[in-house]
Structures are given as structure tokens and as C-alpha cells.
Structure 1
Amino acid sequence: MLSRIPVVARCLSLVALWAAGSAHAIELPLPAPGEDIVGQEQVIEAQYEDTFADLGTRYGLGYLEMIAANPGVDAWLPGAGTKITLPTRFILPPGPREGIVINLAEYRLYYYPKGKSTVYTYALGIGREGWGSPIGNTRVVAKTPNPTWTPPASIRAEHAAEGDILPTVVPAGPDNPLGPFKFGLGMSGYLIHGSNKKFGIGMRTSHGCFRMYNNNVLELADLAPVGTPVRIINEPYKFGVSGGKVWLEAHTPLDEEGNPSVVDKHTAVINTLLKHEGLAGSMRTNWDTVRDVVAAEEGMPTEIAVPVASVPNAAPEQQVVW
């Protein structure tokens, strides 16, 4: 079986960039042409008081991606000395590397500054059950610091049914659900914004908008101008090339309503691989590893294939058996 990438324990330079307590994204250099992976996984030791919510805030990671990367670890009481994997290595999303790219299945935003060979990445909260976030192409049409919030009638009715009467306008400040900044999108009714609750980033908690940690949205506000293109996708399976090998990153598929999907995962992952012209035919794929990655949904890049030329007496696989 092909092994997963070796975990880099306490990679000090990266830890410094993902500064403790800051939740700032890191600026990563884009890989060379033909390469698709950025960042480096880390392993840290939990302190007694640590929770996944705290660690996510500290390292700019979402709650569900922390859960996925650490199966079997208690999210609320990992315990002092417990080894915690920080999933800070990413296969870049498919498609053009420009502007803002949001991958719903990943609960993550990527930003490619124009004219720079770098990428920023941020954890996101997305639409919850019945309020799925949209898919499509749009742009940043407005940037608003210290926004007020005018709850739509549908949200006011939802809260009223639970005995919570919302005001018609919520002023800017620490109680504002939009946090300290919002980006208006060309899709009517949808925003990228901060939050007055740090818990929920990296989860399905919003009414369709995209929530960020407050200092993340302020950082992005300094980087992304009005007019920045925004591409929203829903890709649970990301394939990429690094070091001449093919890697797979698997997340839980989401349906159009924002719920975990019951799609045929095996068919979905094969169809996604086939979209990457040349990968399937030129590589020797370890399908046992592919099955394991798809089943685990840990959200971390795993090597699944090597060039046929590197395997003695090997030929490209013509048939997939699950």
C-alpha cells in the first residue's frame, strides 16, 4: 500500500506563521507549474485546557476539519499530551487559481492575490440544513466595515417561532452577527462576513452566507478589492500532483441543501479522477488506498498513485474494481 505523507511534527516555521491565538491565515507560495499541493501537516501536543474549538481558532482551522483529522480524539477534552494533527496541508481546488475560491465540502476559502504567486486560505462556516450555500461564479461587489444587520423576514420569522424576537436592525458592534466586516457578493442575499460567535467556523451553521473568524475577514478585507472574482464549488474529492505522484484529499460530500450526501462515493471519486485528463492513464493507482481515503474522509492529502514508469513491469490500469 502506498503510504500517506509523513507528518511533520512541530514544524516551527509553519507554527510561527499560523500564530497561536491569532487565527490568521498563512500566505503560502504557489507550487511550481503542474504541482497542486501547498502547506505542511503538523502534529502538536494538547495542553490540559485545549479543545478543538480553541485549537481551530488558534491555527485558523475549522471545527469539523479538526474532527476529521483526529478520529477517536475527544474534541472537548483531548487530554494533556495527546497528539493532535493539524490539517494544514492542502490540495488546491480544481479550476483557475485566481480571486476567491470557496469549496463548500471543505468549509474553506482560498484567495489568490492578483499578480502574486501566493495563496491565502481560511476556514469558513457555511449554510446549514435547509439554508444551503449557493454554487456558481460571482464577484465582490461591495466592502463594508462595521456593518449593521437587517434580518430578512424569513430569518425573523424563524427566530420568532422559537420565541426570539429579532430587532429590525442590529447595529454594528460585538453583538452583530456579521462581525466587523462584510463583503457583498453579486449573488443577491449572500455575503462573506465575520461573526459574533467564533464557534461555528468550519461548520454548517449559517443561513447560506460564509462566516469567517473576525481577524480573518479583516485580513481578507485588506487583500481582496471590489471586483475580485468569486467561484463557489462543492468538490469533496480533490486530486492533485506533487513530486510526480497523484494525491487524493477526501471530504464528506454535501447535497444542495447543505446536508451530508448519500451519493455513491465510489462512483463520485472515479468521475472526479477522470476529469483530470492524463492522470488515470499514466499512473499506477493503489485502489485499496483510494477506498481507505474515501471511507475515512479525513481531509488530508494522501498519495494514491505513482507513474507507471516507476513500477517494474506495470501497465496503466484499465479497470477499477471496488
Structure 2
Amino acid sequence: MLVSTIAGAATFALPKDGSTVVGEVKVVVPTPDNTLLDLMRHFDLGYDEITSANPRVSVWTPKANTRVVIPTRFILPPKPWEGIVVNIPQRRMYYFPVPKKGQPAQVITYPISIAREGWSTPLGTSKVTAKYRDPGWFVPKSIRDEHREEEGVELPEYFPPGPDNPMGMLAMRTGWPGIYLHATNRPWGIGMRTSHGCMHLYPEDAAELFPQLKVGTPFRVINQPVLVGDAGGQVWMASYDGVAEYPDQPAPATLAASLLDQRIMEAVLAGQPLDQDRVRKLLADPSAIPQSLNADSPALSTALAALPAESYAFAPYGIDANDASLPEPRQHRDDAASVAP
């Protein structure tokens, strides 16, 4: 049977037991006509996330029967959990909507593109100050000059609303001058360093977030290349490539030490020591997949090898999907043959 779908963002109920880790990692085996870019968009991941989770898999031509890791387990950012929190090195944002009466508190997370070197997004707190449908974009002279120098091509002074507008079709302005959270006309760049300070969303993610987000929503931007969380009685850690141009930020090793200091003592007292080798390896080789640091838990490679593989038989997005329009629903054979783990 054929079914159609457009994948949405990852939405989770906020843990009530003190846990700070949500989601699960999965493994899929795609049909030969799919690329890692198709998988990353379907599962609402960014380029850096899908490639770091699958370092030996070709982005464009995964081999037949390749097991592709889908890193959809996330360590939540430091509290307060309100409004929007963007973690620049993680290249991901979290939206903590105000709970509806009688409903559990939730978190919704989206991958984003971040600023190119030299165009850093401000750190700190702000708020959503305005929302725009079908925005036009007057291109700043500094961006036109840079594009002419690097690409040898002159950008127009103005992009009208439409699928070729780099602002996309939906934009949310922050209190920082010229800094927006907005859709993009180049969705295959989500998860990369592509912007001039703004944060880019897949068009479908912007369409999902835009009607929910109110003007005045708190907006916090952090630079935290190491995240430590707790779940299932274990300590989890993930690390990301740092963004060096922010001044006065602690080194990843220093940040990890401060985050783990109390947990190391508690683990020793509980007779469940943490594996310091895993900490060192994560710092040396950043990974988007949170890993358990408990010495008695399986290594990540062992845990991934034990996961069953699901067949992924959605049709590829196609080259026409690389603009600011919403992608067309894609077909999937839900009676596709099962895949052996």
C-alpha cells in the first residue's frame, strides 16, 4: 500500500522524573535511490548531525543495505526551559511552549543552520519581536560585497517574496538588529554554517512553528559545545564542534569538567563509576549521538549494532525540493520487505 507524508518536528513530553534526555536513536536501511540528505530532512535532522552519526557512509550514494544511524536522541539545553533556546554548536533549537490547561509540558526541537565565520549570532537573551509572512529582503551592502568577492556574482539589491527568497516564506524577528529565525530557499544547507547571523529552518518546520509562536516569546542563544544529561539512572554526554569566534567561552574540556564534577562524585559513591575514556573520546571526536558514560553500560558501537534496522522506502525529495516551498508529500510502501538487523 502507498501512503504519503511530510515529516514533522520531534515533539516530546518533558520528563517529570528529573531526566534531561529525550528521544531515541534508530537505524534505517534506505532504498538505493535515497541519499543521506533525504534521510536528514525526513527525520528533521541537520547535515552535521546525519554525517557525524554516519562518518563512513557516502552522503550521495549509500551502498545497498547500508545501516544508517538516525541520531534522534537529544540532551536538553540548560534551564530555564521557556520559549526558544538555540544552542549554536549543536545547530539545533528547542521550543518550550506554554502548556495548555490540563496538558503536559512539551518540548519541540528543530535543526537549524547557523552563521558563517565572521557573522556570529549574538549570545544571550532576547524575544520574538515580530512575525512576517512572505517577507521581501533588501540585501545589505556588506552581504552583496562579500558575495561578489567570493562568488564573482552580483546579488540583487532586493529579493521579492517567493520560493527563491533566501528569507523563505516565513520569518520571525528577534530583538537583535537584523537577526531572524526564518525559513530558507536552500533547505539542503540546514545544519551547516550558511547564514549571516540568522538561524535557518526547513520550510516545513517554519510552517509548523510560525502559527504557534507568539510575539514576546523569550528567545535565548547559548554556545555550549558539550551537553551532559541524566536519564534511566545513567549520565549521558554529547559534544559538538565548537564555534571559536565567541570570546570568553570555556574550552570544551573545561566545560565538560564543570558539568561532570558533581556527577562523578555521585557515581563513585553509588558504586557506578563513569568511564573517563568515553569522556576523552567524545571531546576528541565530537558526536551528535548522546552516549552513556556509565562504565557498566555498553559502548556506543555495541549499542548501535544491537539496534534492529527499519526499512526506509520513502521516495526521495528530488532536486525541485531545494527552494523555500513546502515539499510535496512523498510516497512510501508500508508493505516493503522487513530488513534484518
**TM-score interval, smaller chain:** 0.7 to 0.9
Q: 2:29 matched to 1:45?
A: yes
Seen in structure 2, the aligned counterparts of structure 1 residues 130 and 21 have a Cα distance that, compared at 3 Å, is farther
> How far, CA to CA, are the matches of 1:107 and 1:49 in structure 2?
27
Match of 1:24, SS state, is coil
Q: CA deviation at 1:23?
A: 4.3
> How far, CA to CA, are the matches of 1:257 and 1:200 in structure 2?
22
- Matched with 1:287 is 276
**Partner deviation per Cα, 1:160-196 (whole Å, 9 max, x = no partner):** 3343222222110011001110000001110000011
Q: 2:128 matched to 1:140?
A: yes
Calculate the TM-score normalised by the size of structure 2: 0.78
Match of 2:188, SS state, is coil
Question: 1:195·1:211 contact (CA, 8 Å) conserved in 2?
Answer: yes
Structure 2: stretches of 5+ with no match in the other structure: 268-272, 297-341
Seen in structure 2, the aligned counterparts of structure 1 residues 263 and 92 have a Cα distance that, compared at 3 Å, is closer
**Partner deviation per Cα, 1:209-240 (whole Å, 9 max, x = no partner):** 10000010111102111111011011111111
Seen in structure 2, the aligned counterparts of structure 1 residues 92 and 249 have a Cα distance that, compared at 3 Å, is same
Q: 2:221 matched to 1:232?
A: yes
Q: Percent identity?
A: 39
Q: 2:50 matched to 1:71?
A: no
Match of 2:159, SS state, is coil
> How far, CA to CA, are the matches of 1:286 and 1:160 in structure 2?
50
286-295 or 42-51, which deviates more = 286-295
What letter corresponds to residue 120 of structure 2 in structure 1? G
Calculate the TM-score normalised by the size of structure 1: 0.83
Q: CA deviation at 1:267?
A: 3.1
- Matched with 1:60 is 44
> How far, CA to CA, are the matches of 1:204 and 1:112 in structure 2?
25
Match of 1:223, SS state, is coil
> How far, CA to CA, are the matches of 2:287 and 2:4 in structure 1?
23
- Matched with 1:128 is 116
1:268 to 229, 236, 255: 255
Q: CA deviation at 1:265?
A: 4.0
**Partner deviation per Cα, 1:39-62 (whole Å, 9 max, x = no partner):** 111100022122121111111100
- Matched with 2:317 is none
What letter corresponds to residue 48 of structure 2 in structure 1? L
- Matched with 2:88 is 104
Between the two proteins, the alignment pairs up a number of residues equal to: 283
> How far, CA to CA, are the matches of 1:179 and 1:35 in structure 2?
36
Match of 1:300, SS state, is strand
What letter corresponds to residue 124 of structure 2 in structure 1? G
> How far, CA to CA, are the matches of 2:187 and 2:83 in structure 1?
25
> How far, CA to CA, are the matches of 1:134 and 1:295 in structure 2?
27
> How far, CA to CA, are the matches of 2:48 and 2:24 in structure 1?
19
Question: 2:93·2:110 contact (CA, 8 Å) conserved in 1?
Answer: yes
What letter corresponds to residue 305 of structure 1 in structure 2? N
Q: 2:184 matched to 1:195?
A: yes
- Matched with 1:173 is 162
RMSD over aligned CA atoms reads 2.2
What letter corresponds to residue 206 of structure 2 in structure 1? V
Question: 1:21·1:57 contact (CA, 8 Å) conserved in 2?
Answer: no
What letter corresponds to residue 293 of structure 1 in structure 2? L
**Partner deviation per Cα, 1:83-140 (whole Å, 9 max, x = no partner):** 0000001110112111101011111010011125111110100001221222111100
> How far, CA to CA, are the matches of 1:20 and 1:106 in structure 2?
30
Seen in structure 2, the aligned counterparts of structure 1 residues 212 and 101 have a Cα distance that, compared at 3 Å, is same
> How far, CA to CA, are the matches of 2:68 and 2:231 in structure 1?
25
> How far, CA to CA, are the matches of 2:65 and 2:30 in structure 1?
5
Match of 1:32, SS state, is coil
Match of 1:247, SS state, is strand
What letter corresponds to residue 150 of structure 1 in structure 2? F
Question: 1:47·1:79 contact (CA, 8 Å) conserved in 2?
Answer: no
Question: 1:181·1:217 contact (CA, 8 Å) conserved in 2?
Answer: yes
- Matched with 1:117 is 105
> How far, CA to CA, are the matches of 2:113 and 2:6 in structure 1?
18
Seen in structure 2, the aligned counterparts of structure 1 residues 21 and 158 have a Cα distance that, compared at 3 Å, is farther
Question: 1:23·1:213 contact (CA, 8 Å) conserved in 2?
Answer: no
Structure 1: stretches of 5+ with no match in the other structure: 1-18, 308-322
- Matched with 1:36 is 20
Q: CA deviation at 1:36?
A: 0.5
